[in-house]
Structure 1
Amino acid sequence: MKEKILIVEDQFVEADYLQLMLTQAGYTIAGIARSVPQAEQIIKTEKPDFVLVDIFLKGKQTGIDLAKQLSADNIPFVYLSANSNEEVLNAAKTTEPYGFLVKPFREKDLLIALEIAHYRHKHNQESKWQREKQLRNDLFNIEKEGGNWNTKVIETAKALQKHIPFDCMCVYFKPLESRHYSGFMFRRSGFSEYQTIDINSLSNISARPIEDIKRLLEHNPIDNTAGWYNGDEFKNLLPVHPMKAMLAKVFGFSSNIVLPFLTSDSYMFSLSFFRRSEEGYSAEHLDMLFRLQQPLIAVMNSISPNEKRSALSIHPEFDMLAPAKTAGISPDFGTIIGKSPALLNVMDLIGQVAYSDTSVLLLGESGTGKEKIADAIHNLSTRKNKPFVKVNCAALPPTLIESELFGHEKGAFTGALDKRIGKFEKADTGTILLDEIGEMPLELQVKLLRVLQEKEIERIGGRNTLKIDVRIIAATNKNLEKEVAEGRFRLDLYYRLNVFPIRIPPLRERKEDLPALAYHFMNHYNHKSGKKISGISDNVLKSMMAYDWPGNIRELEHLIERSVLLTRGSVIEDIQLPAAPKKPDAGIEDSYIKTIHENERDYIISILKKCNGRIWGAGAAAEILNIPPSTLKSRMKKLGIRKEFIP
């Protein structure tokens, strides 16, 4: 039996048409709601399996407001909308819908969208269950296996890393009667590598006496409560938790999640995870930690009390804890170079998605290495021995791109002298990379969407459809949400591609990787040119670290290639970096007094930040400012406030 579906649509004709199509397809209709309160009432009584929700509804609340509740209740939903501006897209994206249908749509589009949404929801739930089951097994094996305290905690960190992302994991520990915690940190230094930081190490890194560190480890009432803190919430926590404040200052952490628990031998543990990202954690992460509480307690119980007292002594007895690298086989990321936190986050995402057939959207500036990331995803997947076809959508003439992608029959058009096999057909059973997807013409986007939904192609001039099994990786350096808002990219295609987005950081956000990248390119062009250059001078490395690299890794590669060719000795002593733009005089800037309009602009931006950029709806900026949304938009336009530049 097919799902029971609730239709949330305030246009009578459209709602009636939806009900007719769905009933004919065998679905049961739970009801039709014209507003959010009506929908909430039907959900309570009818308990639908699925919801089709229009974004713009009668009343103060929108479909996005309803979607937040649906997401919290784990009820899958698909958005319906005839509008696709950037503001709507940004708000809708945060609710993580299972699909998006742009009006008007065909009956076939509706039914396929529902099938895909059903599959994604089921697959999502099963995938989460399987991952969590595997994690429980990993923790069980860690509990049963031998090994000292350090080994067990590192293995626990490695197991959790796949599910609870972190740049650093802190383990705090104390007998119930004690006022002070002991403990140490595991900071990521590579994909499967962790640096152990004890009290001595933390004292050296922070330049604070050991006695100060001990005082900061005093039990805080906040430590008794599990919770997650992102961005401003994390900042608000720092004044009342000095230890977290010091770690945030020293390591640049911006989010935190904590799970305290008691072991059977009356010790209180606290696992505290930190990330540099401001949006590092969610309620879903905390729920998972709660479900893992018993296996984690079992791991800690498996360590003898004597070893706990010895390994976690508050006194500086941590020489036994050396920087550790986890055992086992790590994924092969090919020629991806670097160990910066920003790059490690990307590697974590690659590791999560590579083994499935999920579509991936790679986002990043030109020259950041999106093609290398696509190579890693394919090479780690079950399709690694199958075709990997790459298509640069920006390099294909608009008149030929359809033929390139889907092929054509002989005589299909003037110049079609032979049958041509398209890229999708060549990639069958393998992977296709659609690079620069943002450059694809609108008329072809419609055809691509249908290929992705129906998993079949038709050659130009052909009469038969061909079933294909292709994994999609799309890449772009454009802001697709802005492209959607300006009518150059279809919203439904964006949602179809944006199943698993990975943002590739620009080089300026991962400067820790600069030396490794520079030496990698130096060795490559050294070998290519037959030279024997052995190093790069400190002055050159310093100047490279001070540069912002607008051309990213591609620019670095070209500059290193040039430097290798121009260097006559054995060390690169000079590099031709472009001149940096001059900064304004500090004295003039400090003496400047803002105008009324500039102060108004700053105030509106501050309100928008608090509302996460939302203009309309309950609790949004227009409501807080007590002005109509249209007036606020006019003021923003006049003052030059662009939503995409609001952090």
Structure 2
Amino acid sequence: MTKKILIVEDEFIVANDLAIMLEKAGYDVCDIADSVEEAREIIARQKPQLVLLDIHLKGTLTGIDLAKQLVDEQIAFVYLSANSNQKILEEAKATQPYGFMVKPFREKDVLVSLEIAQYLHEQSMLTKRANEQLLQSALADILAEPTEWSHKFLKIAKTIQPYVPFDYLAVGMKNLDSLPYDGISFLRTSFNDYQVIGFDELMNISGMKKAELLKLQEPTTDDTFSALYNDDDFVARCKENAAKRFVSRVFQMRSNLVMYIPVTGRPGFTFSFYSRKSDIYTNRHLALVNKLQRSLSLTFDGLLANHKITKPAEPAIKARATTQQMLQKGFDGMIGSSHLLLTAFDHLTLVAPMETSVLILGESGTGKERFARSIHSRSSRSKKQLVVVNCAALPTHLIESELFGHEKGAFTGAVEKRIGKFEQASGGTIFLDEIGELPLEAQSKLLRVLQEKEIERLGGKETVKVDVRVIAATNCNLEKEVAAGKFRLDLYYRLNIFPIVLPSLRERKEDIPELAEFFVRKYAERAGKEGMTLSPQALSDLSYYHWPGNVRELEHLIERNVLLNRGNVIEKVNLPLAKVDQEAPTADGARVKTIDDNEREYILSILKKCNGRISGPGGAAELLDVPSTTLNSKMKRLGITRKHATD
């Protein structure tokens, strides 16, 4: 089938050359537009399947403005630009295009980019439809289960998390049948664990009286439609909506997505998703919840017609997962519960069962290889081999031989046939670490393998088909490398189908106490020093360090301190002072206590006064006049454990 293409370009010569080039290649160029307004008229009339889109156009609107509409209408697009600086690339990337071509471009580059764009779009649509159908089916099955509603909603929360990310979910139901039900909520505490919060728990956490809390739960117009609120929109909505303001204040949420489920003849109910990230929800999330809304509404109507609505049980508080439980979840020993890391886990869980290529982005030491191994172990290829290739360590003259193999006599020293890494990984997964270090010549050959699924051994005359899933990783900014001409655009967009960003340790310092204590136990057991711990001061010092080497550096530092320490408590860890954050040495070299130091000591003194009690009457949260969730969050960041509180 001939693809219908719209060219949106304000330079007539460029647009005309593109049209001639594409028509010669068999494409149907339906029209050319030089502004967003004209393009919108043509799109409404012609319904193109793919758009070549310049960023700078006539008028006040840019190609990026039009891209948002193309995303909503599920039309594939590739950017064109004479400006290839990093800022343009980053702005373009935010709209998730299927390609980016920098002027002037060769005919071959244009045609390859279009082929890639069509492939990515088709795969994206197939995957999206399949996921939506699976999700709708799974949610319908959960609702039909003969269990209490608190259990059903908890299962729904876990099922929907990879598709609609959230840190807090409030489910509100009003006057269904003869059972008035004031709702339930879930606070995410680790990857697959949620604190179930009912009415009594909300009273305890917030310190509000029953009448005040009931007032917050009265239905409003916000309960009758689906919508998203990010950044300033969320702040503005909180001023008008007391319930949202309450969630924002008590749980420190910064964005909100509402899914309204209408029920025939009744008020219906809402799923209100909240995140600590201020810009996480998009029109794609809103489109998904609108689709779920229709199917869930029908399911709920059926349940009511068959009298399967039962009164919800009182929710129980589920304990957080232990470190050992986290290690058993298939994440290859990765530890932490910060929201950035949990987002990466969600993406991992979503993409692992697919055949999609994955690009893992993150600094050195953040665990990119561990993530790659977890993706492989959770995929259908897990029984086959995972082949790891460090692209930065490949000698330039042997790259082709290492990756694709060679025949005997292919070059001096080739005394026998060699099977390359891609053939070794056939049926399994190949992990290309530090992909940004590959030279351009090797990049072009790698692109051909990814597109054609076949390799040719060095010195060979026949092609060999390979069935390989590709996971790539890099610690460099590939957009910057593309802009500098050091990395191929077509290869970048071929790899960047599903990016996963791993946070640096600096961005998830709340995970440092758990990581540090895990590494202490690990290396103390190896050294025959079971029972070794870190002092509160040592944990505090770790939180001030800049961690340029991330988790890997933390692990090595803990191992060294365990081996050197003579007692059962590591009182102090030696950190490079030049890399310590928030320190203010005095003239005599002594370290001045920071605000965090003073806050830590104050919280510890209050906890000791309360005998370690955090929430409830007479608890530390009540004395400090803060919600218990806020106090727990501060304790976690400052490295305060319950053991410290009662020492």
Shift in CA distance, 429/82, structure 1 to aligned 2, threshold 3 Å:
farther
Aligned length: 574
Partner residue, 2:234? 234
CA distance in 2 between counterparts of 1:169 and 1:495 reads 34
Relative to 1, partners in 2 of residues 1:467 and 1:108: Cα closer, same or farther, differing over 3 Å? Answer: farther
In structure 2, C-alpha distance between the alignment counterparts of 1:443 and 1:275, rounded to whole Å: 43
Give the match for residue 244 of structure 1.
244
Q: 1:247 to 1:508 in 2, by over 3 A?
A: farther
Q: Distance in 2 between matches of 1:236 and 1:120?
A: 37
Give the C-alpha shift of residue 297 in structure 1: 4.0
* Corresponding position: 1:485 with 2:461: no
Q: How far does residue 555 in structure 1 lie from its aligned partner after superposition?
A: 1.5
Cα distance change of structure 1 residues 87 and 545 upon mapping to structure 2, 3 Å threshold: closer
Name the amino acid aligned to 1:470.
V
1:515-553 deviation line (CA, Å, top 9, x unaligned): 332233223323332332354444433433454433221
CA distance in 1, matches of 2:2, 2:309: 59
Summarize deviations over 1:73-125 as a string: whole Å, max 9, x none.
22212233454211221222122222234455555544443333223222222
- Alignment CA distance shift 1:51-1:125 (3 Å): same
| Structure 2 Cα separation of the partners of residues 466 and 59 of structure 1 | 52
Of the structure 1 ranges 492-501 and 288-297, higher mean CA displacement relative to structure 2 is found in 288-297
Q: Give the C-alpha shift of residue 278 in structure 1.
A: 1.6
TM-score by length of 1: 0.79
Spell out the pairing of 1:144-183 with structure 2 (5 A cutoff). 144-175=144-175, 182-183=182-183
Distance in 2, matches of 1:522 and 1:67, equals: 50
**Are the equivalent residues in 1 in contact too, given 2:223–2:269 (CA < 8 A)?**
no
| Alpha-carbon displacement from aligned partner over 1:594-622 (angstroms, at most 9, x marks no partner) | xxxxxxxxxxxxxxxxxxxxxxxxxxxxx
1:208-227 equivalences in 2 (<5 Å): 208-227=208-227
Residue 553 of structure 2 corresponds to residue 555 of structure 1: yes
Match of 2:396 in 1: 398
Instruction: Check the 8 A contact 1:258/1:273 in 2, yes or no.
Output: yes
The residue number in structure 2 matching 1:363 is 361
- Contact between 1:265 and 1:305, CA under 8 Å: does it hold in 2? no
Q: Deviation at 1:265?
A: 6.6
Instruction: Give the match for residue 115 of structure 1.
Output: 115
Picking from 336, 342, 345, the partner of 1:344 is 342
What whole-Å deviation, never above 9, does each CA across 1:561-619 have from its counterpart, x for those lacking one?
11221233344443323332555799xxxxxxxxxxxxxxxxxxxxxxxxxxxxxxxxx
Provide structure 2 residue ranges, at least 5 long, that are not aligned to the other structure. Answer: 322-327, 587-647
Counterpart residue number, 1:635: none
Alpha-carbon distance in 1 for matches of 2:10, 2:452:
30
Using the alignment, how far apart are the partners of 2:515 and 2:453 within structure 1?
Answer: 40
User: Shift of the alpha carbon at 1:171?
Assistant: 1.4
Q: TM-score, normalised by structure 2?
A: 0.79
Q: Which residue of 2 aligns with 1:273?
A: 273
CA distance in 2, matches of 1:397, 1:23: 43
TM-superposed deviation, 1:276: 1.2
The answer to whether the Cα contact below 8 Å between 2:113 and 2:490 also exists between their aligned partners in 1 is no
Q: Paired residue for 2:317, among 322, 338, 344?
A: 322
Aligned to 2:27: 27
Q: Give, in whole Å, the separation in 2 of the partners of 1:293 and 1:454.
A: 40
Q: Quote how far apart the aligned CAs of 1:462 are.
A: 4.3
CA contact (8 A) 2:401 2:457 kept: yes
Using the TM superposition, name which of 89-98 and 298-307 deviates more.
Answer: 298-307
Q: Offset of 1:334 from its aligned partner?
A: 2.5
CA distance in 2, matches of 1:198, 1:17: 64
Q: 1:562 to 1:388 in 2, by over 3 A?
A: same
Residue 396 of structure 2: SS of its match in structure 1? coil
- Greater Cα offset, 297-306 or 118-127: 297-306
CA contact (8 A) 1:112 1:454 kept: no
For residue 544 of structure 1, what is the aligned residue in structure 2?
A: 542
SS in 1 for 2:183: strand
Give 1:145 deviation, angstroms: 1.7
Give the drift of 1:500. Answer: 0.8
Contact 1:181 1:219 in 2 (8 A): no
Q: Measure how far apart 1:405 and its partner are.
A: 2.7
Give, as a single letter, the amino acid of the residue that structure 2 aligns with 1:28. Answer: D
Superposed displacement of residue 21, structure 1: 4.3
Q: What letter corresponds to residue 385 of structure 2 in structure 1?
A: P
SS at match of 1:555: helix
Structure 1 residue runs of 5 or longer lacking an equivalent are 312-317, 587-647
Deviations 1:325-372 (A, max 9, x none): 99xxx9622322233322221111011111112111111122111110
AA partner of residue 432 (structure 1): I
Q: Distance in 2 between matches of 1:432 and 1:69?
A: 36
Q: 1:88 and 1:306 mapped to 2: Cα distance? A: 53
Alignment correspondent of 1:440: 438
Aligned in 2, Cα 1:136/1:426: closer, same or farther, shift over 3 Å? same
RMSD: 3.3
Q: Kindly indicate whether the alpha-carbon contact (under 8 Å) linking 2:261 and 2:294 is maintained by their aligned counterparts in 1.
A: no
Taking the aligned partners of 2:392 and 2:78, their CA distance within structure 1 comes to 31
What is the aligned partner in structure 2 of residue 51 from structure 1? 51
Find the partner of 1:383 among 367, 370, 381: 381
Give 1:55 shift: 3.7
SS at match of 1:163: coil
User: Would the aligned equivalents of 2:546 and 2:581 in 1 still touch at CA under 8 Å?
Assistant: no
1:237-264 deviation digits (Å, cap 9, x = unpaired): 2222233223223322111111234435
CA distance in 1, matches of 2:582, 2:332: 39
Q: Tell me how far apart the structure 1 counterparts of residues 388 and 584 of structure 2 sit (CA, whole Å).
A: 45
Q: Identity of aligned pairs, percent?
A: 51
Between stretches 463-472 and 82-91, larger displacement belongs to 463-472
Contact 1:85 1:484 in 2 (8 A): no
Counterpart in 2 of 1:531?
529
3-state SS of paired residue (2:174): strand
CA 1:332–1:21 in structure 2 vs 1: closer, same or farther (change >3 Å)? same
Partner of 1:131: 131
Shift of residue 43, structure 1, vs aligned partner? 2.7
Cα distance in 2, alignment partners of residues 548 and 200 from structure 1: 41
Q: Write the mapping of 1:579-618 to structure 2, written as runs, cut at 5 A.
A: 579=577, 580-581=580-581
- Please name the residue that 1:204 is paired with: 204
> What is the Cα deviation at residue 11 of structure 1?
5.0
Report the equivalent of 1:354: 352
Most deviating of 2-11 and 370-379: 2-11
Residue aligned with 1:182, SS: coil
CA distance in 2, matches of 1:102, 1:461: 35
**Deviations along 1:472-513, whole A, 9 cap, x unmatched?**
211112222233333333333322221111111122333343
Q: Aligned in 2, Cα 1:193/1:261: closer, same or farther, shift over 3 Å?
A: same
List per-residue Cα deviations over 1:391-450 (Å, max 9, x = no partner). Answer: 222223334334433344455555555544332333233222221222223343333333
Alignment partners' CA distance in 2, 1:554 and 1:297: 48
Deviation of 1:300 after TM superposition, in Å, equals 5.7
Structure 1: which amino acid aligns with 2:547?
Answer: W
